[in-house]
Amino acid sequence: MPSYTAPVKDMQFLLHDVLKISETDIPGYADLDRSFTGAVLDEAAKVAQDILTPLNAVGDTEGCKLENGVVRTPKGFKEAFRTLSEGGWMSLDAAPDYGGQGLPYLMHTAVNETFVSANMAFNMYQGLTHGAYSAILVHGTDAQKTKWLPKLVTCEWTGTMNLTEPHCGTDLGLLRTKAEPQADGSYRITGQKIFISAGDHDMAENIVHLVLAKAPGGGEGTKGISLFIVPKVMVNDDGSLGARNAVSVGKVEEKMGIHGNATCVMNYDGATGWLLGDLHKGMKAMFTMMNEARLGVALQGYAVAEPAYQNAVAYAKDRLQGRAVTGAENPKGPADPLIVHPDIRRNLMEQKSFVEGARALTYWGATLIDRAHHGDAAADGLIGLLTPVLKGFQTDKGLEMTVQAQQVFGGHGYIEETGMSQFVRDARIAQIYEGANGVQALDLVGRKLATDGGKHVMAFFEMVKAECKAHDSDERMAGFVEPLKAASKQMQAAAMFFMQNGMKNPNAALAGSYDFMHLMGHVCLGLMWTRMAKAAHAALDSGAEDRAFYETKIATGRFYMARQLPACAAHLARIESGAEPVMALAAEAF
Amino acid sequence: MPSYTAPVKDMQFLLHDVLKISETDIPGYADLDRSFTGAVLDEAAKVAQDILTPLNAVGDTEGCKLENGVVRTPKGFKEAFRTLSEGGWMSLDAAPDYGGQGLPYLMHTAVNETFVSANMAFNMYQGLTHGAYSAILVHGTDAQKTKWLPKLVTCEWTGTMNLTEPHCGTDLGLLRTKAEPQADGSYRITGQKIFISAGDHDMAENIVHLVLAKAPGGGEGTKGISLFIVPKVMVNDDGSLGARNAVSVGKVEEKMGIHGNATCVMNYDGATGWLLGDLHKGMKAMFTMMNEARLGVALQGYAVAEPAYQNAVAYAKDRLQGRAVTGAENPKGPADPLIVHPDIRRNLMEQKSFVEGARALTYWGATLIDRAHHGDAAADGLIGLLTPVLKGFQTDKGLEMTVQAQQVFGGHGYIEETGMSQFVRDARIAQIYEGANGVQALDLVGRKLATDGGKHVMAFFEMVKAECKAHDSDERMAGFVEPLKAASKQMQAAAMFFMQNGMKNPNAALAGSYDFMHLMGHVCLGLMWTRMAKAAHAALDSGAEDRAFYETKIATGRFYMARQLPACAAHLARIESGAEPVMALAAEAF
C-alpha cells in the first residue's frame, strides 16, 4: 500500500522563504509566522498520514453503494469524517461568525493539500461543502446564513453543486430542471441532475444541495437560470431536522476512479427549495462556487501527483535492477537501484519539478484569493486570469505525472495492489470536472485574455519582466532568467497572434487555445521556479543550515527551466499554424 | 457500449496506394492484390465487429477468475476463441508445413489490428501463442516442431512467455528459476514466474510455456540462461495428452485493465521441460519472441486508440452543446454538435493523424519483417532500429490519444458504462510490458543507434533525405517536405550530440534517450505522412473517384506536419541540455 508523508518543509519554504507571508500587508497574514504555520501543518500532516492515507485504498476497493435509497460510504470513512469535523479541520478559513476559525484561504489551501494527497475521494465531501458554504456566505440572506452556515462550517451537514443534467454539462443554457414559485416564497424543484459528487452518503445528518433550475419569466438560455437551496432533510425554524424532502438518489455511478466519493444521479420530484441570490442570476451565484471549485481541482492536479511521486522515489531507491552505465554504484549487491539510471532520473525530476512548481503557483494563487477577498481588484483580476491555467495545466500534468510514477514500478505499477493505478485513475477526473480542460482553455483565450481590456494579462507580462530584470545582473540566476524571458516572449507572441487573427477569424484563436493554456502554464511555473531559486540563494547567502535542501531547490528549478520550458516554442509553433490545419475537414470526413 | 468499424478502406489505401505491396519483390506479395486483401480484411472486419467487439466490455467487467486451480475466462471468450481458431484466423502467416496458411506477416498484422481494436485482452491469448510458435519454429529441433507447432498454429494449444520473477523484470541476469538436467534429456524446472499473460485459461486443451531458467554451468548473469518448453499437460509420443505437469497458477492478478486476459503467477515445482535452442543461449531464443512481441505491442498502441477515436467522433457529432463561435451550424436545434468547436477538432485531429500515421509505420514495419524473413539484412537492421521507436512512441501516444478520446465525452467518459475508460486502462499496459518504454529508449540510444557502426540509422537518414528530395519541386508537397526536413535535421543533431558527448559521459546520451525516441517517432510519422500525401496526390491526379477520401488524407497529414512535428525542436532542446540537469541531485535529495 502506498505511503504518504506531508512535505511540510517544502510548504514552509514556500510560505516563508518565497511568499514571506507574515511580512505582507494581507489582512490576517501577520499572525502566520513560521512557528504557527509549522504547528498547523504538522498536525494536519498527522491527520493526513495516520487517518486518511490508510483509508485511500479502502475507498478505492469498496466504493460507495446505494442500499435501500441510502448511499453507504466505505468502511472507516464515517468515523474519519467525524474526527476531522471535531478536530476543526473543516472550518479553518470559515467566518468566525458562523463557527469558523477565520484563518486565511491560504492556510485552508495548504492543509487541504495534505488531505487531498492522502485521500482525494474522501476530501471531496468536505471540498464541496466548502463551496456551498462560500456561495451561501456571498449570496445568502442573513436568515439563510444563520440557518445553513454553522452546520456547513463544521461539516455536520455537507453540501453539493447540482449543475449537470443528462443532456447538458458545459452548456447550462439547455437545462430543464424547473422551479415553480409557491405561495410561501419557496419553490418546487423538479428535474434530474447527474454527476453529483457527494450527492448522498451516510456521514452527515443533512445534505444541502445547491441546484440550478429555471424559474418562470427568466427568458432563454442561461439568463433564465436561478440557484436554489434544496436540503435533503427539511430544517425546522428551531434548527431541528424535519421531514425528508422530495429528493432522492437514482443511481451511484461506476467510475474509473475516486470510488470513495459517491457520484450520484439526483432526482428532484417537486422538492422544496429556496432561492439563493437574485432570481434569474443563478449563474453568477454558481460561479462563486465554481471558481473556488476550479482552484480546488487545480490543487488536486499536483496533490495527487505528490504521493505518486513519493512512492515512485521509494521504489526507485529500493528496487535493484541493472547497473549504472558509469560503473556499479551498489557493487556488493546483485544490481544497482533503479534510481541510478538516467531515464529514471529524468522521469523523477519531471515529477518533482512539476509538483513543487505547481504547489508554489497554487499557494501564490491562494494569496491572490485572500487579497481579492479584501477588495484588491488587481489580485482579483489576476487570479481570474490564472484560474483556467491552474485548473487545466496542473490537472493535465497531474495525470501525466501519476502515469510516470506508475511507470517507475514497471509491471508492478499495473497491478492494483501497489496502489499506483489508483493515483492515475483518481487524477484523471480532475481534467474533466468543474469544466473540462478544453473549456478552461476556451475561458482563458475566449474570455480572460480580453477581460478589462487585457489589463490583467498585461500585468502578468509586466510581472514576469520585472522578475527577469531583478536578476539580470545575477550570474547565478542566468539559468532561470534566460529561459523565462524566452518563454514569456513566446507567450506574448501567441497572444499577439490571437489579437491579429482572432478578430477576422475567432477559430484562429480558439484552435490554439489549448496550447496557449499549456504555454502559459509553463511560463507560470518558470516564474515560480525563478522566485524559488531566488529565495533559495538568499537562504544560502544568509548562512542557512540545511544547505542541501536549498541546493536541491535550485537544481530542481534548473531542471524545470532547461527541460520543460522548451515546450513553449512548440506550443507557439502550433498556435501560429492557425485554424486552417485544425478546421480543414468537413465533419463527415472524421 | 462502444462500437467499432474496421477501417478497411484506410488499410487498403496503405497496402495498395502507399506500399503498393503487390508490385514489390517481396516473396509472396505478388498474390496480395487489392481484391484479395480486401476480401480477407472484409471477413476479418466481420469477425472483429460481430464476435470480438461485443465481448470487450464483458471481459473488462467479468475478468478472469481462479477457481480450484483453473482460470475461468469471461463468458463467451471460449466460444469466440474456438470460432476464430476454426475459421483459420490464428494461422494466417504460419508455415504451411505445420498447418498454417503461409501468408506474409503483413497480412497477419493487418488482420490482427482489427482483432486488437475490437478486443485487446482477448487477442493476447492468440498473440502470445504466435510468439511461442515463432520461437519454436526458429530455434526448435525438427522433432520439437513436429510435436508442438501444429497445435499452436491452430490455437488448440496456446503459448506463453515466462521471463519475469518477483525480484527481476528487465534485469533477467538476476533470475533464479532453476533447470536441473535429467537422465532422459529433459530438465526439472523449479521457480516462480510472475506477470504471465494468458498463463492459464479454459479455452485450450494445453498451454505451452516457454520458460527462462538457469541450468548448471552457464556462468553468471544472462549468460547462464536457457529457454525451456514446459507444457501444462504432458504430451505423449502419439500426440495424445498425458498427465498434468508440475506447473500451477499461484494467483490471478487484479490489474488496471486488460481484465479479460489472465495475468498469472506461475509456480514451477520440478516441472518437466525440454531445452529450446542452445544451452545457455536462452536470451537469444527469447528475443525471437520478444522482438515479435514488441511489434505486437506497438500495434496495440494505435489499435486501441482507433476505436476510442471512432467513438469520440460519434459522440462529438451527436452531442449538442454550445454554439460555433463563427455562427450556429445547427440553428434549428437547441445547440450545435461538439464537433463544431475548434478545440474538439484539435483533439480529434490529433487522434486521427496519430492513428493513421502509426498504422502506416506499423504496416511498413511489417513489410520490413517480411523482407528480413527472406534474408534481407538491410531490412532486418532497419526494423531492429525501428522496433523500440514503434513500441515506445506508439504506445505512449496510444495512451495519450485514448485519454483525449475519453475527454471528448466529458463526465460521461469517466463513467465505466460508456467504455471510454476501458480503452485508457487497456492502453496503459502497452507502455509497460515487453520492455517498459524507458527500456525501449535505452535500447534505441544505448544499442541500436550504434549497431553495425551506425549503418542502419544512416540508412534511415538517407531514406528521409531521398523522400524530401523527390518532392522538392512539387509545390503541393511543401507543407510536408519542409517540416520533415527540419525534423530530420533535429534528429541528426540529437544523434550528433550523443556521439560527441556520450563517449565522455554515457549519461549525456541516456538522459536524452526518451526524448530521442519521441523525436524519432515524429520523424517516422512525418515520413509516413509524406508518403501518404504523395500517394493521395497520385490517386487524385489519376482521377480517382472518391476524391474526398484522398483530400482528407492530405489534410490530415498537413495537420500532423504543422501541429505535431514542432515537438521535435523541444525534444532536441531537452536532449542538448545534457545530463547535468537530470543527474544533478544526490539520490537522498529525492
In a domain, A499, yes or no: yes
Tell me the C-alpha to C-alpha distance, in Å, between residue A548 and each of A22, A313, A365, A537, B585. Answer: 25, 18, 28, 12, 10
Closest Cα in chain A to B514: A343
DSSP, res B433: S
Range of the domain at A566: 436-581
* Beta-carbon contacts of residue A413 (< 8 Å; ≥ 6 apart): A405, A406, A407, A420, A421, B432
* Beta-carbon contacts of residue A6 (< 8 Å; ≥ 6 apart): A41, A44, A45, A48, A49, A114, A117
Question: How crowded is residue B126: how many other Cβ atoms within 10 Å of its Cβ?
Answer: 23
So what's the pLDDT on residue B529?
98
Taking CB atoms and an 8 Å limit, are B559 and A584 in contact across chains? Answer: yes
Q: B215's torsion region: left (phi>0), alpha (psi -120 to 50) or beta?
A: beta
Rg of chain A's alpha carbons, rounded to an integer? 24
Between residues 152 and 181 of chain A, which touch chain B (CB distance below 8 Å)? 164, 167-171, 173-174
Partners of A9 on chain B (C-beta within 8 Å) are none
Q: What is the pLDDT of residues A171-194, one digit of tens each?
A: 999 999 999 999 999 999 999 999
In a domain, B299, yes or no: no
Q: Cell numbers of B275, please?
A: 531445452
CA distance B355 to B525: 10
CA distance A18 to A3: 28
pLDDT value at B288 more than 80: no
Q: What is the pLDDT of residues B341-365, one digit of tens each?
A: 999 999 999 999 999 999 999 999 9
Give the mean pLDDT of A571-577. 98
pLDDT value at A288 more than 80: no
Among B171, B257, B345, whose Cβ lies nearest the Cβ of A583?
A: B345
What long-range pairs does B490-493 form, CB within 8 A, spacing at least 24? B490/B519, B490/B568, B490/B569, B490/B571, B490/B572, B491/B461, B491/B516, B491/B519, B491/B520, B491/B523, B491/B568, B491/B572, B492/B461, B493/B572, B493/B576
In a domain, A502, yes or no: yes
Taking CB atoms and an 8 Å limit, are A433 and B425 in contact across chains? Answer: no
CB contact at 8 A, A280 and A221: no
Cα atoms in the 13 Å half-sphere on the side-chain side of B19: 27
CA nearest neighbour of B53 among B234, B237, B303, B265: B303
A526 burial level (CB within 10 Å; 0-12, 13-18, 19+): buried
The alpha carbon dihedral of A535, A541, A547, A548 has a sign of: positive
In a domain, B425, yes or no: no
So what's the pLDDT on residue A292?
84
Taking CB atoms and an 8 Å limit, are A558 and B583 in contact across chains? Answer: no
Average per-residue pLDDT in chain B?
A: 97
Give the mean pLDDT of A552-567. 98
So what's the pLDDT on residue A332?
96
Residue showing cell 449570496: A139
pLDDT cut 70: percent of chain A above it: 100
CA distance A564 to A519: 10
So what's the pLDDT on residue A414?
98
Give the mean pLDDT of B146-158. 97
pLDDT band at B82, cuts 50/70/90?
very high
Q: Cell numbers of A528, please?
A: 515560480
pLDDT band at B112, cuts 50/70/90?
very high
DSSP, res A192: E
Among B256, B342, B569, whose Cβ lies nearest the Cβ of A421?
A: B256
Among A255, A425, A573, whose Cβ lies nearest the Cβ of B566?
A: A573
Residue showing cell 499554424: A577
Q: What is the pLDDT of residues B514-525, one digit of tens each?
A: 999 999 999 999
Tell me the C-alpha to C-alpha distance, in Å, between residue A318 and each of A311, A321, B575. Answer: 10, 10, 28
DSSP letters spanning A99-158: T-----HHHHHHHHHHHHHH-HHHHHHHHHHHHHHHHHHHH--HHHHHHHHHHHHHTSEE
CA distance B271 to B208: 12
CA nearest neighbour of B173 among B230, B123, B223: B223
Pair type for strands B206-214 and B157-162: parallel
CA distance A155 to B239: 71
- How far apart are the CA of A299 and the nearest CA of chain B, in angstroms? 19
Kindly report the CA angle at B387 between B383 and B391, in degrees rounded to 5?
155
Give the mean pLDDT of A193-205. 97
pLDDT value at B226 more than 90: yes
CA nearest neighbour of A347 among B41, B574, B107: B574
pLDDT cut 90: percent of chain B above it: 96
Tell me the C-alpha to C-alpha distance, in Å, between residue A485 and each of A525, A526, B409. Answer: 13, 9, 38
CA distance A582 to A580: 5
Between residues 251 and 310 of chain A, which touch chain B (CB distance below 8 Å)? 253-257, 263
Number of compact structural domains in chain B? 1
Helix ranges (DSSP H) in A169-304 = 282-303
pLDDT cut 70: percent of chain B above it: 100
In a domain, B499, yes or no: yes
Give the mean pLDDT of B515-536. 98
CA distance A480 to A535: 13
CB contact at 8 A, B358 and B301: yes
Taking CB atoms and an 8 Å limit, are A506 and B325 in contact across chains? Answer: yes
Percent helix, strand, coil in chain B, to 5, is 60, 15, 25
Give residue B253's identity as a one-letter amino acid code. E
Tell me the C-alpha to C-alpha distance, in Å, between residue B28 and each of A62, B24, B33, B97, B204. Answer: 55, 10, 11, 16, 31
Residue showing cell 470536472: A433
Give the E-state strand segments of B352-445 in sequence order. none
pLDDT value at A213 more than 90: yes
What long-range pairs does B473-479 form, CB within 8 A, spacing at least 24? B474/B537, B476/B537, B477/B530, B477/B533, B477/B534, B477/B537, B479/B558, B479/B561, B479/B562
In a domain, B544, yes or no: yes
Among A173, A313, A346, whose Cβ lies nearest the Cβ of B511?
A: A346
- Return the number of CB contacts < 8 Å for A and B: 266
CB contact at 8 A, A407 and A382: no
H/E element holding A275? strand A263-276
User: Which residues of B are catalytically annotated?
Assistant: 434
Taking CB atoms and an 8 Å limit, are A573 and B569 in contact across chains? Answer: yes
Taking CB atoms and an 8 Å limit, are A325 and B195 in contact across chains? Answer: no
User: Which residues of A are catalytically annotated?
Assistant: 434
Partners of B174 on chain A (C-beta within 8 Å) are 320-321, 334-335
Among A343, A433, A581, whose Cβ lies nearest the Cβ of B411?
A: A433
So what's the pLDDT on residue B27?
96
Tell me the C-alpha to C-alpha distance, in Å, between residue A36 and each of A33, A305, A364. Answer: 5, 27, 19
CA distance B96 to B254: 39
So what's the pLDDT on residue A289?
79
Between residues 71 and 130 of chain A, which touch chain B (CB distance below 8 Å)? none
Give the E-state strand segments of A393-454 in sequence order. none
CA nearest neighbour of A590 among B415, B559, B567: B559
pTM over the 0.90 mark: yes
Question: How crowded is residue B314: how many other Cβ atoms within 10 Å of its Cβ?
Answer: 14
So what's the pLDDT on residue A286?
85
CA nearest neighbour of B562 among A564, A570, A586, A445: A570
DSSP letters spanning B240-306: -EEEEPSEEEEEE--BSS-TTS-EEEEEEEEEEEEEESSTT-HHHHHHHHHHHHHHHHHHHHHHTHH
Cα atoms in the 13 Å half-sphere on the side-chain side of A347: 32
Taking CB atoms and an 8 Å limit, are B407 and A437 in contact across chains? Answer: yes
pLDDT value at A278 more than 90: yes
Total residues found in chain A within this entry: 590
Partners of B438 on chain A (C-beta within 8 Å) are 341, 343-344, 347, 407
The alpha carbon dihedral of B372, B378, B381, B385 has a sign of: negative
CB contact at 8 A, B582 and B511: yes
Taking CB atoms and an 8 Å limit, are B349 and A254 in contact across chains? Answer: no
- In three state form, how does the secondary structure of B18-72 look? HCCHHHCCCCCHHHCCHHHHHHHHHHHHHHHHHHHHHHHHHHHHHCCEEECCEEE
Tell me if chain A has a CB within 8 Å of the CB of B194: yes
pLDDT value at B290 more than 90: no
Q: Considering only B69-78, B168-177, B207-216, which range has the smallest mean pLDDT?
A: B168-177
- How far apart are the CA of A137 and the nearest CA of chain B, in angstroms? 28
CA nearest neighbour of B121 among B261, B237, B312: B261
